[in-house]
Amino acid sequence: MTDLGGFHDNVARIDLSAGDVDYESIDDEDARHYIGGRGLGVKYVFDNGPDVEPLGEENLLAFMNGPLTGTQAPMSGRIAVVTKSPLTGTVTDSHHGGWSGARLKWAGFDGLLFEGKAEHPVYAVVEDGEVELRDASHIWGYGVHETMDELESEVDGAYGKNLSTMAIGPGAENEVRYACIINEDDRASGRGGTGAVMGSKNLKAVVVKSGTEMPKPADRETFMEGHKAAMQAIQESDVTAPNEGGLSVYGTNVLMNLTEEMDGLPTRNGRFTSTSMEAEEEPDDLNIDSEKVSGENVEENILVDDPTCHSCPVACKKEVEVDVHHKGQELNVRMESYEYEPAWALGPNSMNDDRDMIAVMMDRCNDYGIDSIETGNILAFAMEATEKGYIDDADGIDWGDVEAMTEMIEKIGKREGDLADTLAEGQERAARRSTPTTAAST
């Protein structure tokens, strides 16, 4: 056990196969040597055995907090999800913001360890130092947004007040190798296929209800000195100063114009390093302008709110609202995280500068529960494969075709059709499956 400040010394180990929950302490040496949620999570996953099959029931899925999570420390709302990745075959840690990490701490837990596989779909409710498993058969197949709505009404609580839900969508249920876990509608533990692992365990969601178990620092005076210094650094930085710094005003997408100027913006599936270089070397009607999808452009035209995570004065989340005409329908989409990397992957890397359709595609990825960065990359890969004749024109996707991209996102989430099923395997496996068509070899 550990009596280090910041920890509750309480981790729930949930055996989904047996339906049992055990509560265990944290080894003091581990708490000292493996720093934070990522460190401890990696230790648990490594101890579980490095040779396990990522989508097998023996894999361990850890949601881990560090000692600062849920305290007043700035930016301390993030939680690490650690497991063996079905995408890379090695350990992955993927972190999301919002409030679920802090709420897990306030509910009395440093972490949750899921092992085994439930006989039928279940969701976990975490409240007052206890974890309960409930039947989720009725919501299996639901998109993430609908899942969140349903669980808010089933668990006595309210989002934005005392409840957080971390859920998977159809992409994870279908074990898309880059399926993610979505927290609070739009925050993703996106990388490495954490959602696919959750889906392979028949675990649809984890609902966390806030309690009053506030973590206590071991030395309050020193903690407050550190807190003051951190707040001062945030306030004085050109990047993070609240309402003034680039990250605070424009979000992570402040990087779009910067990387374009620095020739560090991979474009056309990484063949060029800026949209201007691409236009210069291959002048054609595909050329695009990355400024149209930049943080500055978003802020001026479609920004509606600046939400934040627990204890963060930066508020880098950029909530946008768009009205688009898509597939003969008028769509209104409001979503919370117009981030740089998905905007780049679904944008310039795919030869697309349709700002509003990028928001639609990000939201579609979140609802299907597939990583919007990896999805953008695999779509760009499919576009280049189409151009080079590795995919038949009839099945392929043309550069920047937002209608086809949006449709393919849904097909990947459902693994519908041969191409989507191949793309759902991730770039490396998809490349191994591909063979040039006659068009390419002539």
Write each residue from 238 to 267 as x if it is in contact with ligand SF4 (CB under 6 A), else as -, in one continuous string. Answer: ------------------------------
Q: Shortest Cβ distance from residue 184 to ligand SF4 (Å)?
A: 11
Residue from 194, 210, 308, 422 in contact with ligand SF4 (CB under 6 A): 308
Closest CB to ligand SF4 among residues 77, 192: 77
- For residue 227, state whether it binds ligand SF4 (rule: CB under 6 A): no
- What residues have CB less than 8 Å from 197, skipping those under 6 apart? 54, 55, 59, 61, 83, 84, 85, 86
The sign one gets for the Cα dihedral 188, 310, 202, 138 is negative
Beta strand segments in 262-327, E: 303-305, 319-326
Closest CB to ligand SF4 among residues 86, 307: 307
Q: Shortest Cβ distance from residue 75 to ligand SF4 (Å)?
A: 4
DSSP for 190-226, please give it.
-GGGHHHHHHHTTEEEEEEE--S-----SSHHHHHHH
- For residue 309, state whether it binds ligand SF4 (rule: CB under 6 A): yes
- For residue 342, state whether it binds ligand SF4 (rule: CB under 6 A): no
Interface with ligand SF4: number of residues (CB under 6 A):
10
Q: Shortest Cβ distance from residue 96 to ligand SF4 (Å)?
A: 9
CA distance 369 to 335: 14
CA distance 237 to 53: 44
Write each residue from 112 to 151 as x if it is in contact with ligand SF4 (CB under 6 A), else as -, in one continuous string. Answer: ----------------------------------------
Residue from 31, 102, 203, 316 in contact with ligand SF4 (CB under 6 A): 316
Residue from 80, 118, 234, 314 in contact with ligand SF4 (CB under 6 A): 314
Closest CB to ligand SF4 among residues 203, 309: 309
Beta strand pairing status for 163-167 and 203-209?
A: antiparallel
- For residue 231, state whether it binds ligand SF4 (rule: CB under 6 A): no
- Identify the residue whose tokens are 């439930």: 118
- For residue 312, state whether it binds ligand SF4 (rule: CB under 6 A): yes
Closest CB to ligand SF4 among residues 240, 437: 240
Q: Are 414 and 174 contacting, i.e. CB atoms less than 8 angstroms apart? A: yes
Q: Are 82 and 62 contacting, i.e. CB atoms less than 8 angstroms apart? A: yes
- For residue 42, state whether it binds ligand SF4 (rule: CB under 6 A): no
CA distance 99 to 128: 16
Closest CA to 112 of 232, 198, 184, 231: 198
Q: Are 209 and 107 contacting, i.e. CB atoms less than 8 angstroms apart? A: yes
Closest CB to ligand SF4 among residues 275, 308: 308
**From 148-156, 309-317, 368-376, 426-434, span contacting ligand SF4 (CB under 6 A):** 309-317
Please report, as ranges, the residues that interact with ligand SF4 according to CB under 6 A: 75, 77, 97, 308-309, 312, 314-317
